[in-house]
Each structure stands twice: as structure tokens, then as C-alpha cells.
Homo-oligomer: A and B are copies of this chain.
Amino acid sequence: MKIRQLALVGGVTLALGSQFTSAASLDDVMKARGLTHKDVLAAAKTYVPTGKRDEYLAFSSGGQSGQVIVYGVPSMRILKYIGVFTPEPWQGYGFDEESKAVLAQGNIQGKSITYGDTHHPAFTETKGEYDGRYLFINDKANPRVAVIDLHDFETKQIVANPLYKSAHGGAFVTENSEYVIEAAQYPTPFENEFVPLEEFNDKYRGGVTYWKFDNKKGRIDQENSFTVELPPYSQDLSDAGKGPSHGWSFTNSFCSERYVGGIERGRPPFEAGCSAKDTDFLHMINWQKGEEVVKAGKAKKINGMNVISMETAVAENMLYLIPEPKSPHGVDVTPDGKKIIISGKLDSHTWVYSFDKLMAAIKAGNFKEKDPYGIPILNMKDTLHTQVQLGLGPLHTQMDAKPCIAFTSLYVDSMIAKWDYCEGKVLDKVSIHYNVGHLVSMEGDSVSPDGKYLISLNKLAIDRFNPVGPLHPQNHQLIDIKGDKMELLYDMPVPLGEPHYVVAIKADKLKPVIRYKSGWNSREDKRSPFKTRAGREKTVVTPGKVEVFGTTIRSHITPEIIEVTEGDEVTIHLTNLERAQDETHGFAMYGQNVNLSIEPGKTVTAKFVADKAGVYPYYCTEFCSALHLEMEGYLLVKPKGYQATEVKAQEGATYTEADYNKQVKTNIETQAVIDSVVGFITSHNYQDFPPVVALVEDATDQLGFAKEAKEKSEAAAAKKDWQNGALWANQWWQYQVKAADIGLRAKTYLEQHDAVKVK
């Protein structure tokens, strides 16, 4: 039994399995698994075969995980968790200096916060259509809004609201992403000071912040953002006007009773006093007017934020209140911008307001009364289009592609109602699993919803899935809404976080990049000053500091040895030199809490103080090639004042001329195989297949490296340095193996995609 090195017998591998069809019939499978015909239909409606794509991508808030979840519809497969408010090591998020800078933007009164309670994601819009450029998401616990770039699915910016201490109701976007809307929730003083609860009515405040979005830069412009001061009514969700209602926004509220609990001192709890009255207030704000008011210098600055006082807002006729069903959760403007739909969880009716009637009432000055803060209250009867009894605990509404058709979740009934908001009639109901909160239809918040699918966001699924302990997954249920009757298709467990809301976009609107430009700081979207090219790696030592400009490429990190002295501040910049899109490298180091993710082209930085003498291995954490375990190195931290003794390293293994010759022979054989693979590829129309073109490009790179190693090997051999001759010959072979691996992939791809021979 001869020991053989990798015999690259390109071309003889056969996918035997794919030649056979299954012995089992569909009936057999149904019987064995207890499936009904309806189940099989649902399976067929959701199954996405290998290599095929989902039609929509859903972006879900990750609740208290502080992340955003991306999944495909209809397969309901989760594609990515994006780190937003919480450090996440797989992405290196919060570990490299570049992303730490993004997280630091979200510090609260100077304090680092390592989680977020994400609630409502929203896409950028152009003329009310999702444009697939950016996604916004808010943090309720520490009022912040994050900007996620959909070109690379990374968080680029976090802004902290300088006035609020609670903000459930964000993010909502105006028709051309002029502003991102964030409303306060639990009232607090705007100033970061103690104010006794006894002064709640007078000094605690709510508000709605309009974060200016710079569409060119893709960043929120804090300087040109503004906030409208509001009474302490616990503002909740918002929606921006569309079409005829463009320029206005709508924000609902709960606890407009302004109740302050204190069960521990004998007072009825918040929940009793916050839901005692029959109605709360819908806030209607003319933000276009607000923009003018700020420009006219009528706003005051508080903590650096432009604030329009209630008094000014009333004087400028930009703020009105309208009674709404008690404890509502969600206000939704219809795609035509003409109606506003609100459900109160404790009212079995869903209310539909007419924007025309609202405007007419304002024009007529037809105010029922003013609230204690002087804000005009419109007469509900003047402004309602209709009230519809949908069921118990109506909560949130999403729109269909068909005009006048909407879907509303019924929390108490555990159902979804399909209804006509123009005619005011119920069309269909479907039972879902319980604890339903929000809903999402495809492109449901845009001016032209696609409908097609509806996802019911149910909480804490205690009996839908295999049990996994006392903390349960959530259950996102997919419903087919293409026909007249809704059909439940799929139960998707959410394994991390309690999502509040989801938005879904047509997948082909997204065009994410597959690699970065070389030497890229992805968080700032520009070339990194620390980028390093192959062969230009260096280590700069200054007193007390060591700065490494290194690179990664399969399968080694340059440098492989870093020497520093105890107490040094160590900075390691690493650039991933790869151009192949699946060649992300990681970088983890023992004992220093260093962990980086370096996608092709990226430059990232780790920084730490080497405060203890010792030996600290580092390595690539990604399975980047057959030799990925060998992608390693050592940080050596010498004690202060260390004097090296004269120790000459002994090689662990020695190589002879015979070893050199053996390796060279193998390499020549390997090259013959590579040449035959290259021959196959170039004799076919490979240029018609972009993935193959990319692979060929990559293989050519590897062969270039092989050539360099071959030269080093031959130079050493010429000097009869068989040790280095053999080792460099092995390195030459390493590159050959990588090239061959890529070549075989390319060949297989061509075979499987019916490439044809070219002359």
C-alpha cells in the first residue's frame, strides 16, 4: 500500500447520486410522514431548490438581540443576522476598531451600551417605492437609530437621540427618505437631569424627531434634523403621508391619561391608569412646515437638537390631535395616501380616517377643543371614514396589491382578518398561532404593495416546535394571500430575539457587492489609510508601540511572527488580498479578545495592550482552504528588559536533495493535470459564465503565486540549500493545489451548465 500525495485525476469524478431517481413516490412519503394534500401543496409553495433564489427578502427586527435578521420568502430560511447595536464576533462587529467606532456613536451620555431593543425596520424610499439602498432600525431602550447599507449588509451609522430616554416608535421613512421618523415613548425630561415625577405633567415631555437623511452620503445628518415637542402622552408608532398626504406624518399614543403608577406605594399600576379612558390621541404633524420653521430660526437647540416647541407648532398650524381607539398599536397610511388606519388593542373596531376630511376639518377650524397644552383636537366624527368590527384585539394592518384591501392582526382572536377598508367589510379570516403582533405583506409599506405573501409575527411559540427550554422561539407564519382565501403555508421559528416588525422587499431590487475594493474601510466606505499590498507588509516599532501592516491570503497571514515587549500598545492592520468572493479570512488571537472578520478586499484593525509577557498564537478562523489550520502565527510578548540568549533554532524536520527532487516531480505531474483542466475550460465557452470567469481569474492568481514559489525553490536548489529548496517547492505545490481546486470547480460548473465547445 503505497502512500500517495494528492493525485489530481481531474475529470473522472462522477456525480453518481444525481443519475438515479428516487425509489420512493410522493404517496409513500406522504403516508410515511403523515402529510395531507394541503401540506404537500404548502411544501411545494415554499420549497426553494438548491441554487434557486427566494422571491423576497424580509428584514426583521431582532428585538432585544440588538441585531437585524434577514430571511428569504417564501422559503423562510434565515440568510443573515446583521450586527447593529450588539457586538457580534462572527462579523468582527465591535471587535475591529472600524466597527467599534460605529458602536461608539451610540454611546448614551458617554456610556457604552452593548445591546439594543430593535423594533421597526424601514427601507429607504424613492417616490414611495422601496429602492433597496438602506435600511433603518431603532432601539427602544436607548433611543437610537441605525443605518444599514444594503450594498454590503453592514451597519454604517448609529445616531443617539439627545432628548429621549425611550423611543418605541421608529423608524419610519418619508416618501423620498427626506426624514426618518422616531417618536418618544415613556415621557421624560428632555434635559439629562433629575426632575421629580410630581412634575410629570409640566416637565416630562414626548416628541417626534425627524432625522434628516442625506441620500447622497447615505448617512443621517444630525445638524439638519429636528424634533417637535409633544405632551407626555407616550407617543408610539408613526407613518409618513404619501401622495396627497405627503408632508404630513401621523403618530399615535397610549396613556394619554398621563397616568403615573407606583404599585409599590399602593397606587394602581401603570396598566390600570394608562388604559382607563376610551380614546387616546393621534398626533398629526406637518413636517414640511416644521422644516420651514427650523429654517426660519424658530426652533431652539436642546442638547444640540433643533426643537420646535408645542407653542410654536400650534402657532404655525403644524400640529393637531384626533381621538383614536384606546391603546393602539400601529398607524398605517394606505398606499394611495388617502386613508389612515388605526386599531386599538382594547377596542374591537378598527378606525379608518379620511385624509381629505382631516384637512377639511383643519381648514374649517372645526376643533372640538384644545388639550391641556393648547393643541387643537379635531372632532373624530368629522374625520372618520368608517369603523369596522374586525374581531378582538385588532393590532396592526398591512396592505394588499389590490386597492382597498388590507390585513389586520387580531391579538385576542389569534386570527388575521382580510377586509375592505373602503367598503368597511370583512372578507376572510384565518386562524394563526397565538400571540400575534405585527404583520408584514410584501412591500407592504410602499405606495405599491405586492401583496402575495403575508407574515404573521407571533410571539413565544410554546407548542409549535420541538421544545428548547423555558425561553421559546417566536413563530413567523407565512400566509399565501394571492387567492381570495388566505392559506397558512409555513411556520418559521425565530431562534434569537423577539422581532417586533419586519419589512420585505423584492429580492431583485438588491444588488449587494460581492467583494470590497482592495484595502477598504467598509464602515466609512473609503480606502483605509492602513491598506497594505502584497509584499509591502511591515511592522513599525516606536517607543511603547508596535504597529503591524499585514495581509491575509490563503493560507498564510503575513507576518507569521510578531514580537513586542510587555506593555506595548499593539495595533494590527490586516488587509485581505483575496479577490475570490468565498475567501473571507478570520483572525483570532489567544488571550487578547482579538477576533476579526476580513472579507475579500477589507482592511481592519485590532488594537490592544500586550500587558503580560508570554506566547499568544493567532490563526485564521475561516475554513478558507484545505490548509486553513496551517494559517497560523505567534505573537511573542517579551518581558521588559529581556535579553535574548544565543539559541539557534533547530529545524523540526530536515530535507535532502531527494526530498527536493520528489516534490518537484510531484509538482510537474500536478502541473500536467492543471494544464488538462485549463485546456478543458478554455476549449469551452467559459466566458459566457460569470462565476467561471471569476474562478479562472482566481486560479490565474494562484498560478502566479506558484510561479514565485517555484522561482524561490529553484534559487535555493541552485545553492544546494535543499532545506529551503524542498520547502519552497512544497509551497509551489500548495499554490498548485489551490489552483487545481478552483479549476476543478470551474470545470464542474461548465459540465453542469451545459457549456459548449468552442473552436
Q: Is the CB of B632 within 8 A of A17?
A: no
Indicate if A312 sits at the interface (CB-CB under 8 A): no
Identify A493's interface contact among B77, B265, B615, CB under 8 A. Answer: B77
Indicate if A514 sits at the interface (CB-CB under 8 A): yes
Mark contacts of A405-431 with chain B using CB atoms, 8 A cut-off: 1 yes-contact digit, 0 otherwise: 000000111110000000000001111
Indicate if A648 sits at the interface (CB-CB under 8 A): yes
Mark contacts of A138-180 with chain B using CB atoms, 8 A cut-off: 1 yes-contact digit, 0 otherwise: 0011110000000111100000000001101000000000000
A734: chain B residues at CB < 8 Å are 271-272, 275
Q: Is the CB of B151 within 8 A of A730?
A: no
Q: Is the CB of B13 within 8 A of A556?
A: no
Minimum Cβ distance to chain B for residue A162 (Å):
12
Q: How many angstroms between the C-alpha atoms of A615 and B186 in the bound complex?
A: 11
User: Would A236 and B516 be within 8 Å (CB), given that A20-B485, A259-B652, A653-B259 are in contact?
Assistant: no
Indicate if A198 sits at the interface (CB-CB under 8 A): yes
User: Would A201 and B268 be within 8 Å (CB), given that A430-B18, A621-B117 are in contact?
Assistant: no
Q: Is the CB of A270 within 8 A of B621?
A: no
Contact residues, A458-474 vs B (CB, 8 A): 459-473
Indicate if A727 sits at the interface (CB-CB under 8 A): yes
Question: Which of A84-92, A287-295, A303-311, A355-363 lies at the binding interface?
Answer: A84-92
User: Would A22 and B38 be within 8 Å (CB), given that A53-B465, A627-B271 are in contact?
Assistant: yes
Q: Is the CB of A70 within 8 A of B468?
A: yes
Indicate if A113 sits at the interface (CB-CB under 8 A): yes
Minimum Cβ distance to chain B for residue A723 (Å):
9
Q: Is the CB of B590 within 8 A of A514?
A: no
Q: How many angstroms between the C-alpha atoms of A197 and B617 in the bound complex?
A: 12
Identify A188's interface contact among B413, B615, B633, CB under 8 A. Answer: B615
Q: How many angstroms between the C-alpha atoms of A22 and B41 in the bound complex?
A: 9
Q: How many angstroms between the C-alpha atoms of A90 and B117 in the bound complex?
A: 9
Mark contacts of A580-622 with chain B using CB atoms, 8 A cut-off: 1 yes-contact digit, 0 otherwise: 0111101011111101010111100000000011111101011
Q: Is the CB of B115 within 8 A of A593?
A: yes
Contact residues, A475-532 vs B (CB, 8 A): 477, 483, 485-488, 490-493, 495-498, 500, 507, 510, 512-516, 522
A434: chain B residues at CB < 8 Å are 745
A298: chain B residues at CB < 8 Å are none
Mark contacts of A109-145 with chain B using CB atoms, 8 A cut-off: 1 yes-contact digit, 0 otherwise: 1011111110000000000000000000000111100
Q: How many angstroms between the C-alpha atoms of A560 and B601 in the bound complex?
A: 51
Q: How many angstroms between the C-alpha atoms of A29 and B37 in the bound complex?
A: 13
Contact residues, A691-728 vs B (CB, 8 A): 691, 709, 712, 724, 726-728
Indicate if A40 sits at the interface (CB-CB under 8 A): yes
Mark contacts of A432-476 with chain B using CB atoms, 8 A cut-off: 1 yes-contact digit, 0 otherwise: 011101000000000000000000000111111111111111000
A36: chain B residues at CB < 8 Å are 49
A648: chain B residues at CB < 8 Å are 198
| Chain B CB within 10 A, most for which of A141, A600, A663 | A141
Q: Is the CB of A593 within 8 A of B558?
A: no
User: Would A17 and B468 be within 8 Å (CB), given that A64-B586, A491-B50 are in contact?
Assistant: no
Identify A200's interface contact among B66, B649, B724, CB under 8 A. Answer: B649
Indicate if A668 sits at the interface (CB-CB under 8 A): no
User: Would A79 and B581 be within 8 Å (CB), given that A44-B33, A614-B192 are in contact?
Assistant: no
Minimum Cβ distance to chain B for residue A477 (Å):
7
Q: Is the CB of B38 within 8 A of A40?
A: no
Indicate if A43 sits at the interface (CB-CB under 8 A): yes
A274: chain B residues at CB < 8 Å are 627, 630
Copies of this chain, whole number: 2
Indicate if A369 sits at the interface (CB-CB under 8 A): no
| Chain B CB within 10 A, most for which of A516, A582, A644 | A582
A197: chain B residues at CB < 8 Å are 561, 634, 636, 649
Q: Is the CB of A6 within 8 A of B347?
A: yes
Q: Is the CB of A348 within 8 A of B81?
A: no
Q: Is the CB of A748 within 8 A of B142?
A: no
Q: Is the CB of B89 within 8 A of A459?
A: no
Minimum Cβ distance to chain B for residue A93 (Å):
10
Q: Is the CB of B430 within 8 A of A593?
A: no
User: Would A731 and B272 be within 8 Å (CB), given that A153-B469, A165-B615, A188-B617 are in contact?
Assistant: yes
User: Would A470 and B599 be within 8 Å (CB), given that A166-B619, A264-B537, A415-B13 are in contact?
Assistant: yes
A493: chain B residues at CB < 8 Å are 77-80
12 additional A-B pairs beyond A140-B588, A414-B744, A470-B600, beta carbons within 8 Å, are A77-B493, A78-B78, A115-B595, A141-B589, A142-B590, A193-B614, A201-B650, A273-B730, A274-B627, A412-B626, A414-B748, A470-B599
26 contacts between A and B (CB under 8 A): A13-B392, A17-B487, A23-B483, A26-B44, A34-B52, A40-B43, A47-B47, A63-B621, A80-B469, A109-B614, A117-B595, A140-B619, A194-B613, A194-B638, A268-B712, A268-B728, A270-B630, A271-B555, A275-B730, A346-B737, A459-B623, A461-B582, A467-B510, A470-B514, A470-B522, A500-B623
